[in-house]
Homo-oligomer: A and B are copies of this chain.
Amino acid sequence: MSQFIENCWYVAAWEHELTAGGLFARTVCDVPLVMWRDQGGLPVALEDRCCHRGAPLSLGRREGDCVRCLYHGLKFDSTGACIEVPGLDRAPPKARVRRLPCVLSHRWVWVWLGEPALADESLIPDAHWLDEPGWACTPPGYLHYAVNHRLINDNLLDFSHLAYVHQGTLGGSEAYAQLRPEIEDIPSGLRITRWQLDVPPAPFVAKVKRYPGNVDRWNIYDFVLPGVLLMDSGFAPTGTAAREGHRADAVEFRSCQAVTPESAGSSHYFFAQPRNFAHGDEAVDRSLHSSLVEAFEEDRGIITAQSRAFAKDARFEPLPMWVDSALIRFRRLEDEARRRDGVARPERPSAAAPSSLAA
């Protein structure tokens, strides 16, 4: 069983990272990828390794919708088929690199690592707020983590840490840490809901909206496989029935975040924060983006330290607390998905002896 879920969609890049004429390299779940957008604007993802002698195609050259390896000149089309070998009349059919299903959806570039026939685009989590008119959005955010992705998922599945990790930034009182969220099963994930009713507006809200009295405050987020967070959060005047689904005079956010494994010990983290106010106001964009980066760096600090502690002593067993119930349930979902992969995919033959051409 692979340590990563195979049959699922992963965020591999922000749309802007795939430039028109260029090649973009990123590793997802130990698979090195070369990505680009073809002349029709469609994203392409191939394994970033020439089938001939292993050179990265991302160091090669775009030629129209194809890529040429700049070691010995093999040329591949966007299906991964080799269409030219210098000195041969035709490329041998065995010459090809793996192509991965790749879809651009709402500014995120998604790749499917598993069985291509199972790559159903309707399974892609819906992050439409990222590019929907009516929602203003911070610039695309990215952090690289030198930790296993599960530790980041854990962090995102338990917001009680806001009161301790982000005391000076996002805030979060000790009362917030004690608030027991509602946790529901949803397809491929969990929905986590916290309401604080009739509380004074947080200082950062006072900056963007003047409420005469107390507010109701909520965080409601779906966290779905492989590690995508889609959050509805905001504030509305107490008495306007926000909890019942009304959103009158509300300040709202739709944070979109995705955790993608790079390797067993490193991860990608993509994030941006759509909002329903201050459209086109770049100062607000920058300010919110900075606040996110500052807070997420705090997460990265403590999670990296935690990862080092695990690395020092493989025998250490964490002691589960009530705050861990969401993350325990999510890890179980992940394990089940990996087991389903094993059933879906016929076992590959075991690796043959390394070829005499490998070094």
The interface of chain A, by Cβ under 8 A from chain B, is 27, 30, 32, 48-49, 51-56, 59, 68-74, 85-88, 92, 94-95, 147-148, 150-151, 154, 158, 160-161, 163-165, 167, 174, 177-180, 301-302, 305-310, 312-324, 327-328, 331, 335, 351-352, 354-359
Contact = CB atoms under 8 A, between A and B. Distances in A.
A53 B354 CA distance: 39
A69 B357 contact: no
15 contacts: A49-B309, A53-B318, A55-B302, A59-B302, A72-B158, A72-B321, A85-B321, A86-B323, A87-B178, A87-B180, A92-B319, A315-B354, A317-B352, A317-B355, A328-B356
A86 B160 contact: yes
Nearest to A319: B51
A277 to B, nearest CB: 32
A279 B47 CA distance: 50
A148 B358 CA distance: 10
A147 B358 CA distance: 12
B320 A55 contact: no
Q: Which of A32, A315, A358 is packed against the most chain B CB atoms within 10 Å?
A: A358
A47 to B, nearest CB: 10
A86 B164 CA distance: 11
A214 to B, nearest CB: 23
A317 B358 contact: yes
A271 to B, nearest CB: 20
Given A87-B177, A161-B72, A351-B314, A95 B319 contact: yes
Contact of A316 (B54, B72, B323): B54
Nearest to A87: B178
Contact of A87 (B87, B165, B322, B352): B322
A207 B165 CA distance: 56
Given A30-B312, A88-B321, 17 more contacts: A54-B310, A70-B164, A70-B302, A71-B161, A71-B306, A72-B164, A72-B323, A73-B163, A87-B177, A87-B178, A87-B323, A150-B359, A314-B354, A315-B352, A315-B354, A317-B358, A328-B357
Contacts of A314: 351, 354, 358
Q: Which of A70, A151, A307 is packed against the most chain B CB atoms within 10 Å?
A: A70
Contacts of A331: 356-357
A161 B50 CA distance: 14
B177 A73 contact: yes
A53 B358 contact: no
